A and B are shown apart, each in its own frame.
Chain A
Amino acid sequence: MPVSQVNAATTGLALEMQGVTKRFPGVLANDQVDFQLRKGEIHALLGENGAGKSTLMNILYGLYTPDEGKTYLDGKDVTIHSPSDAIANGIGMVHQHFMLIPVMTVAENITLGQEVTKAGAFLDPKRARRRINELSAQYGFEVDPDALVADLPVGLQQRVEIIKALYRHADILILDEPTAVLTPQEIEELFRAMRSLVAEGKSIIFITHKLKEVFAVADHITVLRNGRVVGTTTPAEATEASLAAMMVGREVILRVSKDEAEPGKPVLEVRNLQALDEREQIVLRGVNFAVQEGEVLGIAGVQGNGQTELVEVLTGLRPSLSGQVIIGGQDVTNTTPRTVTEQGVAHIPEDRHEFGMVTSYSVAQNLALVTYYQPPFARGVVMQDKAIDDNATTLVEEFDIRTPSIHTSGGSLSGGNQQKLVVARELSRPIKLLIASQPTRGVDVGSIEFIHQRIIEQRDQGVAVLLVSAELDEIMSLSDRIAVMYHGEIMATLDAETAERATLGLLMAGVHPNQ
Chain B
Amino acid sequence: MTSATTTASTAIPSKFMTRSRWFGVVYLIFGVLLVYLAMTALDPEAVSKFRFGQIEASIMDRLPEAVQTGLKQGVPIPSRNSMLLVGILLLITGVVPFLLPPQVAKRYENLVLMLVFGLLLAAVLIYAATGKRTDVVSMLADGIRLATPIALGALAGILCERAGVVNIGIEGMMLVGAGLGFTASLYLQNSTAGLVVAILAGMLMAALHAVLSISFKVDQIISGTVINILAVGITGFTRRSFLLDNPFGAPSVYSPIPIPVLSDIPVLGPVLFRHQPIVYTMLILVFVIQFYLFRTKWGLRHRAVGEHPRAADTLGINVIRARYLAVIAGGAIAGLAGAWFSLETVGSFDDLMTGGKGFIALAAMIFGNWNPIGAFFGALLFGFADALQIKLQILETGIPYQFIGMLPYVLTMIVLAGVIGKTTPPAADGVPYEKQ
| A positions within 8 Å CB-CB of B | 58, 61, 63-64, 82-84, 87, 93, 95, 99-104, 108, 112-115, 117, 121-123, 274, 282, 285-286, 321-322, 486-489, 506, 509-512, 515
Partner pick for B295 among A123, A509, A510, CB 8 A cutoff:
A123
B250 to chain A, nearest CB (A): 42
B residues less than 8 Å from A322 (CB atoms): 13
B403 to chain A, nearest CB (A): 37
A residues less than 8 Å from B296 (CB atoms): 121-123
Q: Is B427 an interface residue (CB 8 A)?
A: yes
Q: Considering the chains assembled together, what is the distance between the CA atoms of A512 and B3 in angstroms?
A: 9
List 6 additional contacts besides A58-B436, A64-B436, A99-B310; criterion CB under 8 Å.
A83-B314, A104-B307, A121-B296, A122-B296, A285-B12, A510-B4
Q: Considering the chains assembled together, what is the distance between the CA atoms of A506 and B5 in angstroms?
A: 11
Asked if A101 and B10 make an inter-chain contact with CB atoms under 8 angstroms apart, the answer reads: no
A404 to chain B, nearest CB (A): 25
A residues less than 8 Å from B316 (CB atoms): 82-84, 87, 113
Q: Considering the chains assembled together, what is the distance between the CA atoms of A83 and B436 in angstroms?
A: 13
A residues less than 8 Å from B435 (CB atoms): 63
A residues less than 8 Å from B297 (CB atoms): 115, 117, 121-123
Q: Considering the chains assembled together, what is the distance between the CA atoms of A353 and B1 in angstroms?
A: 40
A residues less than 8 Å from B4 (CB atoms): 486-487, 509-511
Q: Considering the chains assembled together, what is the distance between the CA atoms of A357 and B327 in angstroms?
A: 36
B136 to chain A, nearest CB (A): 40
A residues less than 8 Å from B12 (CB atoms): 282, 285
Q: Is B304 an interface residue (CB 8 A)?
A: yes
Asked if B301 and A489 make an inter-chain contact with CB atoms under 8 angstroms apart, the answer reads: no
Q: Is B373 an interface residue (CB 8 A)?
A: no
Asked if B314 and A104 make an inter-chain contact with CB atoms under 8 angstroms apart, the answer reads: no
Q: Which of A100, A101, A103 has the most CB of B within 10 A?
A: A101
Partner pick for B6 among A103, A123, A487, A515, CB 8 A cutoff:
A487
Given contacts A99-B308, A285-B10, A510-B5, contact A113 B315 (CB under 8 A): yes
Q: Considering the chains assembled together, what is the distance between the CA atoms of A285 and B295 in angstroms?
A: 41
B residues less than 8 Å from A58 (CB atoms): 436
The closest CB in chain A to the CB of B316 belongs to A84
Q: Considering the chains assembled together, what is the distance between the CA atoms of A42 and B12 in angstroms?
A: 46
Asked if B308 and A511 make an inter-chain contact with CB atoms under 8 angstroms apart, the answer reads: no
The closest CB in chain B to the CB of A55 belongs to B436
B residues less than 8 Å from A488 (CB atoms): 10
Given contacts A83-B313, A122-B295, contact A101 B5 (CB under 8 A): no
Number of B residues with CB within 8 Å of any CB on chain A:
33
Q: Is B311 an interface residue (CB 8 A)?
A: yes
Partner pick for B314 among A63, A286, A506, A509, CB 8 A cutoff:
A63
Asked if B7 and A113 make an inter-chain contact with CB atoms under 8 angstroms apart, the answer reads: no
Q: Is B246 an interface residue (CB 8 A)?
A: no
Please list the 9 inter-chain residue pairs (A to B) with the smallest Cβ-Cβ separation, ordered nearest first. A84-B316, A113-B315, A99-B311, A510-B4, A285-B10, A115-B297, A286-B10, A101-B307, A101-B308
B residues less than 8 Å from A285 (CB atoms): 6-7, 10, 12
The closest CB in chain A to the CB of B10 belongs to A285
Asked if A103 and B311 make an inter-chain contact with CB atoms under 8 angstroms apart, the answer reads: no
Asked if B13 and A274 make an inter-chain contact with CB atoms under 8 angstroms apart, the answer reads: yes
Asked if A321 and B13 make an inter-chain contact with CB atoms under 8 angstroms apart, the answer reads: yes
Given contacts A123-B295, A322-B13, contact A112 B427 (CB under 8 A): no
In chain B, positions 267-324 with a C-beta closer than 8 Å to chain A are 295-298, 300-301, 303-304, 307-308, 310-317
B321 to chain A, nearest CB (A): 13
B residues less than 8 Å from A121 (CB atoms): 296-298
The closest CB in chain A to the CB of B306 belongs to A101
The closest CB in chain B to the CB of A95 belongs to B314
Given contacts A101-B304, A104-B307, A489-B10, contact A112 B5 (CB under 8 A): no
Q: Considering the chains assembled together, what is the distance between the CA atoms of A64 and B1 in angstroms?
A: 45
Q: Is B58 an interface residue (CB 8 A)?
A: no
Given contacts A99-B311, A112-B312, A322-B13, contact A104 B5 (CB under 8 A): no
Q: List 15 A-B residue pairs with CB atoms under 8 Å apart, sorted by A's residue number.
A: A83-B313, A87-B315, A99-B314, A112-B301, A112-B315, A112-B317, A113-B312, A115-B297, A117-B297, A121-B297, A123-B296, A285-B6, A286-B10, A486-B4, A489-B6
Q: Considering the chains assembled together, what is the distance between the CA atoms of A512 and B9 in angstroms?
A: 17
Asked if A286 and B300 make an inter-chain contact with CB atoms under 8 angstroms apart, the answer reads: no
Q: Considering the chains assembled together, what is the distance between the CA atoms of A318 and B280 in angstroms?
A: 50
Q: Is B40 an interface residue (CB 8 A)?
A: no
In chain B, positions 1-55 with a C-beta closer than 8 Å to chain A are 1-7, 9-10, 12-13
B4 to chain A, nearest CB (A): 4
Given contacts A87-B316, A489-B10, contact A112 B300 (CB under 8 A): yes
| Per-position 1/0 for B40-82, Cβ under 8 A of A | 0000000000000000000000000000000000000000000
Asked if A61 and B314 make an inter-chain contact with CB atoms under 8 angstroms apart, the answer reads: yes
A410 to chain B, nearest CB (A): 21
B residues less than 8 Å from A104 (CB atoms): 300, 303-304, 307
B419 to chain A, nearest CB (A): 17
A402 to chain B, nearest CB (A): 24
B113 to chain A, nearest CB (A): 20
Q: Which of B4, B295, B314 has the most CB of A within 10 A?
A: B314
B residues less than 8 Å from A84 (CB atoms): 315-316
Partner pick for B300 among A87, A115, A510, CB 8 A cutoff:
A115
Given contacts A61-B314, A63-B436, A113-B317, contact A511 B300 (CB under 8 A): no
Q: Considering the chains assembled together, what is the distance between the CA atoms of A87 and B314 in angstroms?
A: 9
The closest CB in chain B to the CB of A64 belongs to B436
Asked if B311 and A101 make an inter-chain contact with CB atoms under 8 angstroms apart, the answer reads: yes
Q: Considering the chains assembled together, what is the distance between the CA atoms of A63 and B314 in angstroms?
A: 8
Given contacts A87-B316, A104-B307, contact A123 B436 (CB under 8 A): no
Q: Considering the chains assembled together, what is the distance between the CA atoms of A87 and B317 in angstroms?
A: 12
Asked if B13 and A511 make an inter-chain contact with CB atoms under 8 angstroms apart, the answer reads: no
B residues less than 8 Å from A506 (CB atoms): 1
The closest CB in chain B to the CB of A322 belongs to B13
B305 to chain A, nearest CB (A): 10
Q: Considering the chains assembled together, what is the distance between the CA atoms of A64 and B314 in angstroms?
A: 12
A residues less than 8 Å from B314 (CB atoms): 61, 63, 83, 93, 95, 99
A400 to chain B, nearest CB (A): 30
A residues less than 8 Å from B6 (CB atoms): 285, 487, 489, 510
Q: Which of A100, A112, A117, A274 has the most CB of B within 10 A?
A: A112
Q: Considering the chains assembled together, what is the distance between the CA atoms of A80 and B297 in angstroms?
A: 25
Q: Considering the chains assembled together, what is the distance between the CA atoms of A364 and B270 in angstroms?
A: 73
Given contacts A113-B301, A113-B317, contact A103 B310 (CB under 8 A): no
A residues less than 8 Å from B315 (CB atoms): 83-84, 87, 99, 112-114
Q: Considering the chains assembled together, what is the distance between the CA atoms of A61 and B315 in angstroms?
A: 11
A117 to chain B, nearest CB (A): 5
Q: Considering the chains assembled together, what is the distance between the CA atoms of A285 and B8 in angstroms?
A: 10
Q: Considering the chains assembled together, what is the distance between the CA atoms of A512 and B297 in angstroms?
A: 46
Asked if B307 and A103 make an inter-chain contact with CB atoms under 8 angstroms apart, the answer reads: yes
A453 to chain B, nearest CB (A): 34
Asked if B2 and A515 make an inter-chain contact with CB atoms under 8 angstroms apart, the answer reads: yes
B residues less than 8 Å from A274 (CB atoms): 10, 13
The closest CB in chain A to the CB of B6 belongs to A487
B100 to chain A, nearest CB (A): 20
B residues less than 8 Å from A82 (CB atoms): 316
Q: Considering the chains assembled together, what is the distance between the CA atoms of A100 and B315 in angstroms?
A: 11
Q: Considering the chains assembled together, what is the distance between the CA atoms of A50 and B307 in angstroms?
A: 28
A residues less than 8 Å from B436 (CB atoms): 58, 63-64
Q: Considering the chains assembled together, what is the distance between the CA atoms of A122 and B296 in angstroms?
A: 4
The closest CB in chain A to the CB of B14 belongs to A282
A residues less than 8 Å from B427 (CB atoms): 101-103
Asked if B7 and A489 make an inter-chain contact with CB atoms under 8 angstroms apart, the answer reads: yes
Q: Considering the chains assembled together, what is the distance between the CA atoms of A115 and B315 in angstroms?
A: 11
Q: Considering the chains assembled together, what is the distance between the CA atoms of A486 and B10 in angstroms?
A: 13
Asked if A512 and B311 make an inter-chain contact with CB atoms under 8 angstroms apart, the answer reads: no
Q: Considering the chains assembled together, what is the distance between the CA atoms of A101 and B162 in angstroms?
A: 13
Q: Considering the chains assembled together, what is the distance between the CA atoms of A104 and B298 in angstroms?
A: 15
Q: Considering the chains assembled together, what is the distance between the CA atoms of A501 and B384 in angstroms?
A: 66
A86 to chain B, nearest CB (A): 9
A residues less than 8 Å from B424 (CB atoms): 103
